[in-house]
Structure 1
Amino acid sequence: MKKKIDENQIHEKHYEQIYNLVKNDPYAQSLGIKLTKFEAGFAEAMLEVQDHMVNAHGTVHGAVLYALADHAFSVACNAYGKTSVGLSTTIQFIEAAKPGDRISARATELRRNFRTGFYRIEIFHEQSLIATMEAVSYRKDHYFIELNEQE
């Protein structure tokens, strides 16, 4: 019989290796997104809105908000070292942000099983909720970190 893997232990034991991989996302880095918090099933990322990140109305482009939320989601669902990819997302834009604003996204795992994970991502400007995203991840069969026989 196969031993059940304790993914929280994997997160703790391989924290640095997982963290170094997820924080170095090239696309997030190109936008200036910084990972500010990383835990098992939770991630927070921050972005200072630049002048070139706005739409024709002078407010933050929805794609920028989505990219910030998606990065936090990606980090949270890959926190256990198991390759996880986005399966579906739904985003709601509530309020606009402007250049110079510091915005943050917090991804919280609601539930996870062998194949899927369910997440809620909230995007804030200061204490004001400006967008929310619901996301589902697909968890592949392999880990992107090296596990030993005891894990």
Structure 2
Amino acid sequence: MTPKERAEQAARTMWGNDQASPWVGMQVEAVDEGQAVLTLTVEKHHTNGHGICHGGVIYMLADSAFAFACNSRNQSTVAQHNSITYIAPGQLGDRLTATATEVSLTGRSGIYDVTVVNQTNTVVAVFRGCSRAVRGHVFEE
């Protein structure tokens, strides 16, 4: 199995068990070893009292992209610490894209950067996720 095939199988398995990401309206667009791209269209139920995309929805999109990237090697991996900086508001109707990229992987600890942009490539948020590998695998090889 190639690294890309492993990442794709891990993503299919995780997506099949993930109740939250599909429920909120996310889609997995691409995965590879240490990388993932997820999208979400901002709908009315994603907006807050200011009429813009709720920060928690943007965080959730970034966190899900992070999860697919850090589990791409079929090693069960969880978040250890994450942070996000909001740059611009997500607007109703925006198509948000979260692109996660592995920055470092040493032993059981990884660092991933996620950039969330809208359909005009305006940066909405930047997220840094720190992962920790735990026992087990996403799927049986």
TM-score (norm 1): 0.86
Coordinate RMSD, CA, aligned: 1.5
Answering whether residue 136 of structure 2 is matched by residue 133 of structure 1, we say no
Residue 21 of structure 1: aligned partner: 13
Q: Label 1:43 to 1:52 Cα distance change in 2 as closer, same or farther (>3 A).
A: same
Q: Which runs of 4+ in 1 moved over 6 A?
A: none
Q: Label 1:13 to 1:35 Cα distance change in 2 as closer, same or farther (>3 A).
A: closer
Q: Percent identity?
A: 29
From 4, 29, 34, give the equivalent of 2:27.
34
Report the Cα distance in structure 1 between the residues aligned to 2:123 and 2:78, rounded to whole angstroms: 25
Residue 36 of structure 2: aligned partner: 43
Report the Cα distance in structure 1 between the residues aligned to 2:50 and 2:57, rounded to whole angstroms: 14
Residue 3 of structure 1: aligned partner: none
User: Following superposition of structure 1 onto structure 2, how do residues 111-150 of structure 1 map, counting pairs within 5 Å?
Assistant: 111-126=104-119, 127-147=121-141
The residue type equivalent to 2:78 in the other structure is V
| Count of residue pairs the alignment pairs up | 139
Report the Cα distance in structure 2 between the residues aligned to 1:47 and 1:13, rounded to whole angstroms: 24
Question: 1:83·1:140 contact (CA, 8 Å) conserved in 2?
Answer: yes
Gaps of 5+ in 2: none
Report the Cα distance in structure 2 between the residues aligned to 1:61 and 1:15, rounded to whole angstroms: 30
Q: Label 1:47 to 1:12 Cα distance change in 2 as closer, same or farther (>3 A).
A: closer
Between structure 1 and structure 2, the one with the greater Rg is 1
